[in-house]
Structure 1
Amino acid sequence: MNRDYYESPKPGKIMQMLWKAAGSDAYILKRSTYNDQVKYACLGGIVAATGFMAALAGGYAVYTIFEPKGSALDNAVHFPTALMSLVFGIIWGLIIFNIDRFIVAATGKGDGTEAITWQEFTGSIPRIIMGLVIAITISKPMEIRMFKSEIDAELHQAQLEKRKQYEEATKVNYDDRFAIIEKDLNKIEEKRVDLIERIKKAEKDYSDQLNGKLPGTVPGKGRLSEALEKQVDKLELELDDFDAVNKAEMNRLLSEKLKLQNELAIELDKNEQVAGGLDGLLERIHLAHEVAGFWITFFITLLFVVIELTPIFFKMMLIKSPYDYMSDNVSELLKADEGIQIKYDYYKDKQGQERNLIINHKANKKVEEKMMLIKAQTELSDYIIEKWKEKEKEKINNNLDDYISEA
């Protein structure tokens, strides 16, 4: 706005967007000083930056929650989850941006001095609490992204240890079932080994007898050699019968063992998935606190708290400037134009609190007009009824017989 003594700078589109982010009135700021324009542009910049950080934090948090679980060192990007996280991050950023914009726009300027009085502070407590919650919500995903490499290393080690624990527990659960099968297999195997040993001994005795190595016997074919040969044949038949009788049982036990081994392999694979399930948002936040320590995470959170609460305290510390006076003036003009009158500290309520009297002149005028119209309509209706009664009386007087009926 051009004046003889001062020319208001022409704002650019970016500055006007930042004004909107701060919830300020662009119409008034265009006519205000450059100092006011810059103050509210900076205020809007903080709000916009908070929304941007919220979008990043929210998107990363959602990606961490919904990405396929596995080894912490597997950094391959899962594009469907990334796309979903991008959409959510934008929506979340806009939500936080809108909330911050409301908080800043709804925060008053206090008493117009740099000092923050106790009354100003207590009045802003609800907004400060909302700002703290938003700041903490934004800071945690940012923390786990800052320390991602250290967290991945610690998380991978934790996954290996957890997987080892699960594997040991799973194998213990299967040991008893394997032991029962092995016991039955060993019984059959012991009997078969015993038969084979007896066959070997009988064959050795038969061979030694033929070669004259058996003491007290005559070498060569004879009754003894025939008896020993028959014994060998008998034992071999017993072995064949034993194998035939126990074949089905052996196959059943081996089949159960193989089935149990397959079940164990499946359970061990599940354990790997369960260990991979540690790769979640809560575990990463917990590890971030362990890796970075209390003070580092505290100051990171404090940084986001300061960024989030700066606009609130900034507005309470603002000294009244031309923008504020012009804004008050426009507000008073609008109220006057609409016939609204405010008498400040006009009366005290039951608690002794000073209250303002608000008079809506246009509304009162409308009410009065309506009341007068209703009153006039009522008077006219009464007059019509009275005239109708007089007319009817005149008819009765002139034609009384028409209104009397004989019994």
Structure 2
Amino acid sequence: MTRDYYELPKSTLIMRFLWKCAGGDRYLLERSTYSDQIKYMCLGGIVFATGAMAGLAGGYAFYTIFEPRGSAIENPIDAQTVILALFFGVIWGLMIFNIDRFIVTSTGKGDGTEAITIGELKSAFPRIIMGIIIAMTISKPVEIRMFKTEIDIKLREKQLEQQADYQAKVDKTYSDREKLLEKEFGNIAKERNDLNERIKNSEKEYIDQLNGRVEGSVPGDGKLAGALKAKLDDLTNQLKEFDVKNGKNLAELNKRKEELRTAKEKERNNNEKIANGLDGLLERIKIAHEVSGFWISLFITLLFMAIELTPIFFKLMLTKTTYDYLAENRDELIKAENGIEVRYDYYKDKQGIERHLIINHEADKLMFEKIKISEIQRELTNYAVSKYKERELKKIDDNLEDYIKNINE
């Protein structure tokens, strides 16, 4: 708009985009002051930046949740998850952007002064709570990305501890199962183990005698060696007879033992996979709190809260300027154009609060017309009924006998 006393610089595409982000009216801003334009441009920049940060944080959180599990140190980037995370990040960023835009545009100007009163805080309290929640959802993914190196090291230590604990549990579990299995088959396994142990001892005595390792005896294949050989053969025969006698039960026992060992090895092979599963978003947030400490974590959260809540407090602190008066004039013109009258602070309700009286002249006019038409219709109907009554009375006066006859029939 051209003025002799004041000329505004032409608005750029970026400036108009940021005005739109802040919910500003381009038509009015191009007719107000340069300071109004800068205020709404900065406000829109904060809203846009918050949405962009929310998109990045949401995308990173999505990737952390759905990425393939592996070693916290050596975990390559998965392209498919990256594409999905980018898509989700854009959707999440747009959601937060629209919520922030709604919060900013619905906050209003408060009382139009720089001071923030208790009443203004009360009215803005729901929006402040929403802003705090949004700030926390943005800050946590950013926090775990900031301390990613330290978190990865700590997380890898936990994964290794998890592997060791799981392996110990697997060994104990299957050892207990094997003991229960042997107990189920009674003394068969114990007797066979005892026979095997006696055979081993007897074989050792026989070999020691042959090699001259037994003190007080003549080395070589003598009478003592023969006796030891006979004892060894006897025990071996007892083992064969035992196996023949209990072959079926022993085969079943060995089969089930082998099944247990196979299952145990399978579980041990799953050890690393299960330990690598300890790499979720919640675990990383916990470690981030351990690594950063309470104060640093709180500082990061408060920083994002400040960014998120700045537009709300910014609008409450704004004084009325040319843009606001133009906006009020626009609103009044639109009301007048549509026949809407507002009588401010016209009456007090039951609680003593002053209320506005809203008069919709267009609606009142239409209602008045409808009422009048309805009244005329009633008058015409009454007149028609009265005329009909007069005509019927005349018929009765002229032909009374015929009327009575028709009634009796």
In the superposition, the TM-score normalised over structure 2's length comes to 0.86
Deviations 1:145-173 (A, max 9, x none): 11111000000001111221121122122
| 8 Å contact from structure 2 (residues 199, 232) kept in 1 | no
CA separation in 2, counterparts of 1:278 and 1:232?
Answer: 56
| 8 Å contact from structure 1 (residues 9, 30) kept in 2 | no
2:37: which partner in 1? 37
Higher deviation after alignment, 239-248 or 95-104: 239-248
**Structure 1 residue 7, shift from structure 2 partner:** 2.6
2:145: which partner in 1? 145
Q: What does 1:177-256 correspond to in 2, within 5 Å?
A: 177-178=177-178, 183=190, 186-193=193-200, 196=203, 252-256=252-256
From the superposition, tell whether residues 364 and 232 of structure 1 become closer, same or farther in structure 2 (CA, over 3 Å): closer
| 8 Å contact from structure 2 (residues 206, 228) kept in 1 | no
**Structure 1 residue 195, shift from structure 2 partner:** 6.6
**Structure 1 residue 268, shift from structure 2 partner:** 2.2
| 8 Å contact from structure 1 (residues 159, 275) kept in 2 | yes
From the superposition, tell whether residues 356 and 231 of structure 1 become closer, same or farther in structure 2 (CA, over 3 Å): closer
Deviations 1:173-202 (A, max 9, x none): 222344575856633422543675698799
SS at match of 1:135: helix
Higher deviation after alignment, 361-370 or 98-107: 361-370
Higher deviation after alignment, 30-39 or 95-104: 30-39
1:319 paired with 2:319, answer yes
CA separation in 1, counterparts of 2:36 and 2:232?
Answer: 115
Aligned CA-pair RMSD = 3.1
CA separation in 2, counterparts of 1:393 and 1:313?
Answer: 82
Higher deviation after alignment, 176-185 or 135-144: 176-185
1:362: which partner in 2? 362
1:16 paired with 2:16, answer yes
In the comparison of the two structures, how many residue pairs are matched?
393
| Percent identity of paired positions between Structure 1 and Structure 2 | 53
| 8 Å contact from structure 2 (residues 32, 323) kept in 1 | yes
CA separation in 2, counterparts of 1:45 and 1:123?
Answer: 24
CA separation in 2, counterparts of 1:229 and 1:172?
Answer: 40
| 8 Å contact from structure 1 (residues 67, 81) kept in 2 | yes
From the superposition, tell whether residues 239 and 307 of structure 1 become closer, same or farther in structure 2 (CA, over 3 Å): closer
CA separation in 2, counterparts of 1:184 and 1:298?
Answer: 67
Q: What does 1:147-162 correspond to in 2, within 5 Å?
A: 147-162=147-162
| 8 Å contact from structure 1 (residues 198, 235) kept in 2 | no
**Structure 1 residue 102, shift from structure 2 partner:** 0.4
| 8 Å contact from structure 1 (residues 188, 246) kept in 2 | no
2:74: which partner in 1? 74
CA separation in 1, counterparts of 2:139 and 2:245?
Answer: 73
Q: What does 1:330-349 correspond to in 2, within 5 Å?
A: 330-349=330-349
From the superposition, tell whether residues 248 and 190 of structure 1 become closer, same or farther in structure 2 (CA, over 3 Å): farther
| 8 Å contact from structure 1 (residues 21, 48) kept in 2 | yes
- Matched to 1:167, the amino acid is Q
CA separation in 2, counterparts of 1:353 and 1:11?
Answer: 43
2:107: which partner in 1? 107
1:258: which partner in 2? 258
1:168: which partner in 2? 168
CA separation in 2, counterparts of 1:236 and 1:283?
Answer: 59
**Structure 1 residue 75, shift from structure 2 partner:** 2.4
SS at match of 2:270: helix
CA separation in 2, counterparts of 1:59 and 1:266?
Answer: 36
5+ long unaligned stretches in structure 1: 216-224
**Structure 1 residue 267, shift from structure 2 partner:** 1.9
5+ long unaligned stretches in structure 2: 183-188, 212-216
Higher deviation after alignment, 44-53 or 228-237: 228-237
CA separation in 2, counterparts of 1:231 and 1:110?
Answer: 107
